[in-house]
Amino acid sequence: MSARASIAGGFFLTFLVVFAITVVEMITLSDLRSRIRFLEDAGQFEVELLGARKAEKNYLFFRGSDPEQGRKHLQEALEHLQRARSIADQCSTREEAAPDGFDCRTALEHLDEYEALLEELATSPGSKAGPGAEKIREIRQAGRRIASEAALFLSRGRQAVDRTLDRALLLAVVFLVGSFLLMGVLAVALTLRVVRPINRFVAYTRRIAAGDFSPITPARRYRDEFSELAAAINVMLRELDERQAQVARAGKLAALGTLTSGIAHELNNPLNNISLTTETLLENLENYEPREARRLLEDIFNQVDRASATVRNLLDFTRKEKPVFLETYLPEVVLKASHLVRNEAKLAGVKVRIEMPEELPPIRACARDLTQVFLNLFLNAIQAMPGGGTLTVTGDRPDRDHVRVEVRDTGTGIEPEALEKIFEPFFTTKEVGVGTGLGLTVTHRLVENHGGRIEVESRPGEGTAFSVILPVKGPPEEGRAV
């Protein structure tokens, strides 16, 4: 399920729960209203019956002394009963609202019986003595029975209202607890579906910012917004990787441009020696002994091998290959890089001192990339000493998992405000036309690709020291293209 569907599903589920609880609350409130009306009727029913009982007692009191007054009270009792009957009739039509344990029809039958007894008194010819004792007892029993029904009616009505109110309160509590539980479930679901992937992508961006351009592997098997985002980021990473490769190649070209004069001298010297030796052989070939001629030919061979080594080093340096991490001996890499700048240093009056200890352990690295790293640092150091100086390369092991190579010069140094920018692309403190601003950028990237770091300290007027710190076991992920 996609993140969009998860969010929509969460809102729909919330709507369903709220809708269901709202419907239940509406039904409960409607039931409560019916029961309150029923309770009002029960109260009025009891009032009317109490009025009828009072009028009945007044009739029995006045029946002998004042028959006329007695008949008035009897008529009043019948009027109360008529109103009570009207209420009882309404009750019988709303039996669903009647409280449990109360039968409206039974109450209506008892009311009819009581009313019939009083009407019999009203329609029978009166006598001064009035009704007999048996009749009076029957009337009183019927009155007490219907009064008891009215009291039960009112009591059960109150109990029904109380139960309905309790149920409404319980539903409110259930709604509150259910809302919290639902919000908790939705929060967990959103965390799993949205927040966790976002945090994962935050980690990806930090990794990319640190220079790790390895592709993102989607964490889910199905396709959703985050897998599409991962695919888009992977496309961006490939583009960035290609741009970085272009920057690295530009850095190599810049280094080659700087080495041009040194390379010319490196090739010109053996070519001159070859030319002179060949000319000597051609002019005096018949005068040389075979042994002496062989010595001159061996000299030509050595000069050709010297020139071939220079060209081979340049080809190795400029070859476009995917980095291959193999067991590499750092002193050999440093020595190879120093050979490439040998004539450049000689022309600048810079003395190169290589002080790499033999006990340094081999590391897992790409020798070609590290050659470029040290070549860039050597060229920067030589250019920082226009009046000559000393370039010192030392190595040590700061801990059991790393080795360190320090490249120190006695040049002009770097201003403090420029130190924070020296690894930015195209930033340079050199004169226009002297530097491209790519050398240290490429160097920094290559060192990071090896899982290492590069540190710098400098004092204006005293010189600069670059420390390349590399892991012995190589980077966590090998073979990423530059």
CATH number at residue 242: 3.30.565.10
Least confident of 99-103, 136-140, 181-185, 467-471: 99-103
Tokens of 365: 């690295």
In this prediction, residue 433 has a pLDDT band, given cuts at 50, 70 and 90, of very low
E runs forming strands in 228-383:
326-328, 350-355, 363-365
Q: Residue 77 falls within a domain, yes or no?
A: yes
Tokens of 312: 């081979």
Residues 245 and 180 in one domain: no
Cα–Cα distance, 108 to 92 (Å, whole number): 8
Q: What is the H or E stretch that residue 70 is in?
A: helix 67-93
Residues 186 and 59 in one domain: yes
Q: Residue 216 falls within a domain, yes or no?
A: no
Residues 248 and 176 in one domain: no
Contact between 438 and 251 under an 8 Å Cβ cutoff? The reply is: yes
Contact between 265 and 459 under an 8 Å Cβ cutoff? The reply is: no
Nearest to 376 by CA among 447, 293, 324, 285: 447
pLDDT at 471: 93
Q: Residue 220 falls within a domain, yes or no?
A: no
Q: Would strands 326-328 and 363-365 be described as parallel, antiparallel, or unpaired?
A: antiparallel
Residues 379 and 461 in one domain: yes
Amino acid at 86: S
In this prediction, residue 482 has a pLDDT band, given cuts at 50, 70 and 90, of very low
Q: Residue 269 falls within a domain, yes or no?
A: yes
- pTM more than 0.95: no
Residues 49 and 164 in one domain: yes
Q: Residue 175 falls within a domain, yes or no?
A: yes
pLDDT at 152: 78
Q: When comparing pLDDT for 228 and 351, which is higher?
A: 351
How many CB atoms within 10 Å of residue 66?
A: 12
Report CA-CA distances (Å) from 398 to 360, 392, 449, 472, 476: 11, 18, 20, 11, 20
Average pLDDT value for residue range 416-442: 67
Element counts in the chain: helices (H) and strands (E): 12, 7
pLDDT at 318: 56
Domain of residue 57, residue span: 3-192
Least confident of 136-140, 351-355, 476-480: 476-480
Q: When comparing pLDDT for 331 and 176, which is higher?
A: 331
Domain edge (last residue) among 139, 159, 192: 192
Residues 188 and 291 in one domain: no
Q: Residue 352 falls within a domain, yes or no?
A: yes
Residues 149 and 281 in one domain: no
Residue 355 three-state SS: strand
Q: When comparing pLDDT for 141 and 131, which is higher?
A: 141
Residues 13 and 138 in one domain: yes
Residues 463 and 384 in one domain: yes
Residue 397 three-state SS: strand
Residues 188 and 334 in one domain: no
Contact between 444 and 416 under an 8 Å Cβ cutoff? The reply is: no
Q: How does DSSP classify residue 413?
A: -
Domain edge (last residue) among 138, 170, 192: 192
Domain edge (last residue) among 165, 192, 219: 192
Residues 153 and 295 in one domain: no
Residues 7 and 70 in one domain: yes
Calculate the average pLDDT of the chain: 78
Q: Residue 183 falls within a domain, yes or no?
A: yes
Domain count, the chain: 2
Q: Residue 176 falls within a domain, yes or no?
A: yes
